Structure formats: C-alpha cells, structure tokens
Amino acid sequence: MGFKSIQDTQEQLANVGYVCGRALATVVFLSLKLGRPLFLEGEAGVGKTEIAKALAAALERRLIRLQCYEGLDASSAVYEWNFAAQMIAIRTAEATGSKDRDALNTELFSENYLIRRPLLEAMSKQKDGPPVLLIDELDRTDEPFEAFLLEALSDFQITIPELGTIKAPEPPIVIITSNRTREVHDALKRRCLYHWVDYPDFERELEILNAQVPEASKNLSHEIVGFVQRLRDEDLYKKPGMAETIDWAKCLLALDVIELSPQVIADTLGAILKYQDDITRITGPEAKRILDDAKATSGMSE
C-alpha cells in the first residue's frame, strides 16, 4: 500500500475527502518516498492537521498524535513508568515474603509497567505497517524538546535505561505542524521537507467545501466561498481559515439559509471571525459591501 505517483497521491487523498493542490501532493509524495518527516507551516485552520488524518485514512495506517504544549517533556511524550502499579507490586512481594531482589527488579521494569506515550508508540511495531505520527503545533513547545525530537527523528529509536533501546522496525510517517508563533530551529527544519500551507484559492476552496459539506447547495457554497475569499483581502487581525469556512457553511445549513444576506452574515459572523475587533469592523454596511463585491466577482466568473 502506498502512493505510486504525485497524481495518485492527489487522487487517493481526495478519495478520503482531502482536496489538495499539486504542490502539497508533491511534498507528501516525496516525504513518503524519501522517508523524510514533513514540516508544514501555515496560518491556523488551513488544514495542516487534517492532512495527517487524511494520510492515515488513505494508507489505512494508525494515526498517533502528539499535541505539543509548553513544558512538554519526555515523561508525557515518550514513556512513563506506572509507579502506582510498581508500588503495589513491591508491597505484594513484601507481604508474600519474596526475597529474590533481582527477579523483582526485572519484573518491575518490564513492559507490563511501561506506559507508552505517543513517540514510543510510534516507534513500536504496528500490525498494519508504520503509523502516521502527527506532531501538532510544535511551536508551542520549547527548544529543549525540539532538540530531543531532532535526535528521536533522525534515528527513529528511543533508549529506556531500564529496558534498552527500542528501534522502530520501519520508520513512521512523520508530519510536523507549526502555527509559527515562534521560529522553529533550522536544525530541525533541515531534516524535514518543508511546505508552507497557504489559504486555498476560490476553485480549490469551493472543491474542499463541496467535499466536506456536500449538503450545501451549489449557489450557497459559491456565495460562502466568494465572501470568505473577499474577506481575506480585508485588514483583519485573524483571517478566516478553511476550517472556519466549513464551520460557517454548517452553521448556515443548520439555520436553513438558502442565500447570504447582510442580516444572516451579522448573525453568524462569530463562526468565521474570532476577534471582537474584526467582528465590529465587518458588521453592518461593511458586510454588505463585501457581499456585493463577492457576488459581482463570482457572477463574472460564471
């Protein structure tokens, strides 16, 4: 199981509901072919995390996700010993009067008492082939963790002092995402294939929306995409991402909207704009102007 060509990558991802451009398909294909981690950067909500999910679905592999946060350390990313269970084992050994120290030692630090965290899990043998390892929002952790990751990702092995080295039978497919709230160190980026995920253009966004929210009528999805595309040209603090477009479409469907109007937009703006400043800017006459603009341009393109 795998992708045969760039074209094939694009098609198979589309089959599981992820519509991507030729550029992204190329990078994904190469990352699989060369066995390199894929480093995806881009604004929030452009589908960076989704690609990992789609990849796992298309390849029928397990998806293992490591959500990064400030202060993430080895015990929550790699492995941890189950101390409570170990403690009980010791007490039991005492109660039964067992005196064999070595046996107890080997027993306590065996796989039975090991809690596997995402990284170790990804290095272990999986029944349906190497898993997809998603390291999400790497920019949220700190540099020491990056350095650790650098080592883990170059050898695909992890050493547990009490157990020995665990090496991945086949390297996992690694997808790293970053929202760029800080620069990730070049040393890590160098080991990866890099791709900047941009907002989709009109046609692509429409295609994605149709794939994700097929219930929406042709006319409505046209209007939604036109409006959001136009909205991204405005001077906003946070531009709406693809995820917001999909959310909004779902909201509008739930409200049985057939056509966009300034009133509807004002009522549901919270689904696409997440900052109060942005919302106050866009409500009222501004929304109407953008809507008219969007309608005019999409009318021309048809």
Partner 1 sequence: MAVYAKLEIPEKGEIVANITHFARALRKSGLPVGPGRIADAIRAIDAAGFSNKQDFFWALHACFVSRPDQREVFAQVFRLYWRDPQYLEHIMAILMPAARGLQEEHKAKAAERRAAEALLDGTKNNDIETPESERETEFDIDASMTFSVKENIRNIDFEQMTMAEMAEAKRLISKITLPVRPLASRRTRAANHGQMADWRATMRGAMRFGGDIQKLAKKQRQIRWPNLVVLCDISGSMSSYSRVILHFLHAASNAKGTGWAQVHAFTFGTELTNITRHLRNRDVDEALNLVGTQAKDWKGGTRIGDCLHSFNRDWSRRIMGQGAVVLLITDGLDRDDSQGLGAEMERLRLSAKKVIWLNPLLRWDGFAPKARGIREMLPHVDSFRAGHNIESLQSLADALSKPEDIGEKARLMTMIRKNNG
3-class SS at 130?
Answer: coil
Residues 79 and 158: their CA atoms lie apart, in Å, by 10
Which CB atom, from 18 or from 156, has the smaller least distance to partner 1?
A: 156
Q: Does the protein bind partner 1 through residue 190 (CB under 8 A)? A: yes
Tracing tokens 């990702």 back to the chain, one arrives at: 153
Q: Does the protein bind partner 1 through residue 181 (CB under 8 A)? A: yes
Our measurement of the distance from residue 205's CA atom to the centroid of its chain's CA atoms, rounded to an integer in Å, reads 18
3-class SS at 136?
Answer: strand
- The set of residues, in sequence order, having a beta carbon less than 8 Å from that of 133 and lying 6+ positions away, is 64, 66, 118, 119, 122, 172, 173, 174, 175
Which CB atom, from 194 or from 232, has the smaller least distance to partner 1?
A: 194
Which CB atom, from 190 or from 289, has the smaller least distance to partner 1?
A: 190
Query: How do strand 193-197 and strand 157-160 relate by DSSP bridges?
Result: unpaired
Beta strands in 117-247 (DSSP E): 132-136, 157-160, 164-167, 173-178, 193-197
3-class SS at 128?
Answer: coil
CB of 19 to partner 1, least distance (A): 17
Residues 233 and 4: their CA atoms lie apart, in Å, by 38
Q: Does the protein bind partner 1 through residue 95 (CB under 8 A)? A: no
Q: Does the protein bind partner 1 through residue 163 (CB under 8 A)? A: no
CB of 154 to partner 1, least distance (A): 6
Binding-site size for partner 1 (CB under 8 A) equals 58
From candidates 4, 125, 167, 182, binder to partner 1 by CB under 8 A: 182
Q: Does the protein bind partner 1 through residue 22 (CB under 8 A)? A: yes
- Residues 122-161: x where in contact with partner 1 by CB under 8 A, - otherwise, as a string: -----------------xx-x-x---------xxx-----
CB of 201 to partner 1, least distance (A): 15
Q: Rounded to a whole number, what is the distance in angstroms from the first to the last CA of the chain?
A: 40
Q: Does the protein bind partner 1 through residue 256 (CB under 8 A)? A: no
From candidates 14, 17, 26, 286, binder to partner 1 by CB under 8 A: 26
CB of 20 to partner 1, least distance (A): 12
Given a contact cutoff of 8 angstroms between Cβ atoms, the answer to whether 78 and 158 are in contact is: yes
- The set of residues, in sequence order, having a beta carbon less than 8 Å from that of 145 and lying 6+ positions away, is 68, 72, 73, 77
Which CB atom, from 31 or from 298, has the smaller least distance to partner 1?
A: 31
Query: How do strand 164-167 and strand 157-160 relate by DSSP bridges?
Result: antiparallel
Given a contact cutoff of 8 angstroms between Cβ atoms, the answer to whether 163 and 205 are in contact is: no
From candidates 8, 111, 183, 233, binder to partner 1 by CB under 8 A: 183
- Residues 47-86: x where in contact with partner 1 by CB under 8 A, - otherwise, as a string: ----------------------xxxxx-x----xx-x--x
From candidates 215, 235, 256, 302, binder to partner 1 by CB under 8 A: 235
Which CB atom, from 94 or from 201, has the smaller least distance to partner 1?
A: 94
| Sign of the Cα pseudo-torsion (179, 180, 184, 189, in order) | positive
H helix or E strand, kind and range, residue 145: helix 143-155
Query: Which residues here bind partner 1, judged by CB under 8 A?
Result: 5-6, 22-23, 26-27, 29-31, 33-36, 39, 41, 69-73, 75, 80-81, 83, 86-87, 90, 93-94, 101, 104-105, 108-109, 139-140, 142, 144, 154-156, 171, 179-183, 186, 189-190, 193-196, 235-237, 277
